[in-house]
Structure 1
Amino acid sequence: MPENRLLTETYFAKRDVLLRFLTRLCGDEASAEDVLQDLYIKASGARIDGEIQEPLAFLFRMANNLYLNRLRAASSHRARDTAWHDLNPQTALEGSGIDGTGADASPDAEAVVAARQELRAVMKALEALPPRTQDIFRLHKIDGLSQTEVARRLDISISSVEKHLSGALKHLLALNRSRH
């Protein structure tokens, strides 16, 4: 029997067990269902070399890895949001609904235009950096890879990644200071 068929049959036979496991991990059933859906997509398209002795254990491992990937992605998004808010405190306050009025916290048209202009300036500033620094910055700050993952992907040292990121952030900070 092809491995993906074995995995999908096990998935459907043990879906409730997998859902309970993921609900404990995620803390809520809605998130668990999302991971479970991702698991089905992965399992049904899996191309495995060799034989899977324990398909349920294999699915548990896949589910756990998918959950961890979601955690990492959420952490990266929070880090980017925090960095953005740290660099743009006024924009952060305006868009957060902190004033307590209960008003819609969506940005008005002026704020959207200003944010787009700011983004264009940042992207232009990034283009002024050396290509290697641009690549490292994008992989880490935009794609959400860890410094270790960036170093491994580009076959360079972590120290080199840190130096490139430091240079890019100094460059962007100087841009921010000159604009404000």
Structure 2
Amino acid sequence: MAHNPDKLDMFMTHRGRLVNYANRIVGDRADAEDVVQDAYLRFEGVADDRPVDEPLAYLYRIVRNLSLDLRRRLGRDRLRLVAEDTGVLAGMAEDRPSPEAEIGARRALQRVTEAMAELPERTRIALEMHRFGGCSIREIARHLNISTGLAHALVVQGLEHCRQRLHRDGNLHRDGNHD
């Protein structure tokens, strides 16, 4: 496969930020490096005759999806290993949350994921870059080609939407009207 120099230049320019973004999701720098490399290979595989409107946003989305997939896969692997080794762990004190707390945390994560999916793309990208990528408002503004004031407003709007959604869904769940 011939490499597209524009895609490669963009990737190399933003590689460090992409790794930081992936690292915040997967929690391991080496895994984040692998995710970003895989994301570039997928990004490079997109045919040039199918242009992407916002290639950098598209690359961030690939990194996000691969990072979330890896985090889920690693979580399942850890659970499987624990289940296989229950004899050794039986005598040890339990240092993980109760099953009820885990279910609650999973539900909350699902609600946040759903809330973020409801956001307009530019708002979601700004929020992800800020919260998961560790990007400054100035970096977000530059990436999205908008003013810093608008970048700040998008992050605040995204956070507020997620907060309201969690609050609304949490109240429905507690009242017994949802689930």
Q: Taking structure 2 as the reference length, what is the TM-score of the superposition?
A: 0.41
Larger relative contact order (CA 8 Å, sep ≥ 6): 2
**Greater CA radius of gyration, 1 or 2?**
1
